[in-house]
Amino acid sequence: MGRILTVFILIASLLVPPSAWAKEPATPELTLNQAIAMALEHSEAVKKAEKEIDRTYKLREESADQLDYVPTAPPGNKYVEMAWAKLLTADLTWRMAKKNLTAEQDEVALDACRKYWDVLVAQEKVRVAEAGLQKADWDVRRARVSFLVGMIPQADLLAAESQLAGAKAALEAAKNDLDNAYASFNQLVGLWPQDRPVLVDGVNFAPLEVPDVNVEVGRIVSESPTVWLANEKVTLQKYLEDMMFYTGEYRPYEARKIEVEQAELDAASAKKMLEEVTRSLYYNAKSLEESYRSLQEGVKTAEENLRVTKVKYDVGMATRAEVAAAEAALAQARQKALEAACQHAYLKLAFEKPWAYISLAVAGGSGTGGGASGSTQGR
């Protein structure tokens, strides 16, 4: 009986079309905050940072157990200095692990925002390509009729047909870019590559308001995990400066003093670099605000031009090709404005968390995401 049932199941499976076994793309609605939460949940870097806190805490406690009192003996006790230096280093490592977790979370959140907006921009580019194809199609129709009645030479007809072929290629390229944007976003938030989540949040353009840029830059830099770590290393080296045998062998005072000075130079360099990046992000955002205003005016002009062209078309004073051209111009204007709004929103977030911005740029370059891992098969 069991053998018959097995044969029946095998035959039934052969009758099912292959497409029935394929996974249907999921289309969940996602807000930006939901996408960030999913990215944090699926980030291997965040999970690793969480485990690092536990690991370094255990090591710190082990080091603390080796010193059940605060050393008050004068410098020179080799074993006490070694144990004390080990505890100081373990404590700094543990505290830095906690800072690093926050930094990883900031990086993943910033990356999720960027990839969310990348999908929105890619979708808009597909709409632009579709409008461009429609315009090119109408241009070819008009060119063919004009050529038949002798109004244009064959070269003009060939040029119109070439533009149509180019428009078709541009649409395919835009669709591929959209697929790529979805794949990158889906990997980060833990969806399947073929899923097509519906991103319900748009981008509300709001200027970056900073009463005093110097004060704000100072605040942001002081909160930076990298600057904090550099300053803590200075403190550590100052402690070690008074220990002659903390490495297990004698270290001359002048060498220990130089190590403090080197740590201070590293801290100053880290602060200077982050201040420079933060100010650059601020001024780039402010410059983009001026460009966005111009792009918004371009959208209004294109909308009015389309409205007038449609009115003319209704009364027979404009052709369908002219309407398609006006629609394509409006689609392009909207796409440029959306792209600028997304870039501005990203710069605003990067200004608040420049360490996350730097980490993403180092890990993946300016055009790709990096620094955060997500499962590609999250459900």
Residues 6+ apart with CB under 8 A from 333: 295, 298, 299, 301, 302
CB 103 within 8 A of CB 355: yes
Query: Which residues of the chain have a pLDDT value below 70?
Result: 1-23, 68-76, 364-379
pLDDT tens per residue across span 61-81: 988 887 766 555 555 677 788
Q: What does DSSP assign to residue 18?
A: G
- Among the listed residues 55, 54, 56, the one whose alpha carbon sits nearest the alpha carbon of residue 90: 56
Q: Helix crossing, 253-314 with 320-352: angle to 10°?
A: 160
Alpha carbon distances (Å) from 78 to 85, 89, 236: 11, 17, 18
| Strand pairing class (29-30; 198-199) | parallel
pLDDT score, position 363: 79
pLDDT score, position 19: 41
Question: Alpha-carbon distance 168 to 171, whole Å?
Answer: 5
Residue at token pair 């911005």: 357
CB 214 within 8 A of CB 278: no
pLDDT tens per residue across span 261-280: 999 999 999 999 999 999 99
HSE value, Cβ hemisphere, 13 Å, CA-based, for 109: 15
Alpha carbon distances (Å) from 230 to 91, 251, 265, 312: 15, 22, 9, 67
Question: Alpha-carbon distance 353 to 112, whole Å?
Answer: 14
Paired strand residues for 30: 199
Token pair recorded at residue 286: 């402010």
Residue at token pair 């194809």: 133
pLDDT score, position 6: 42
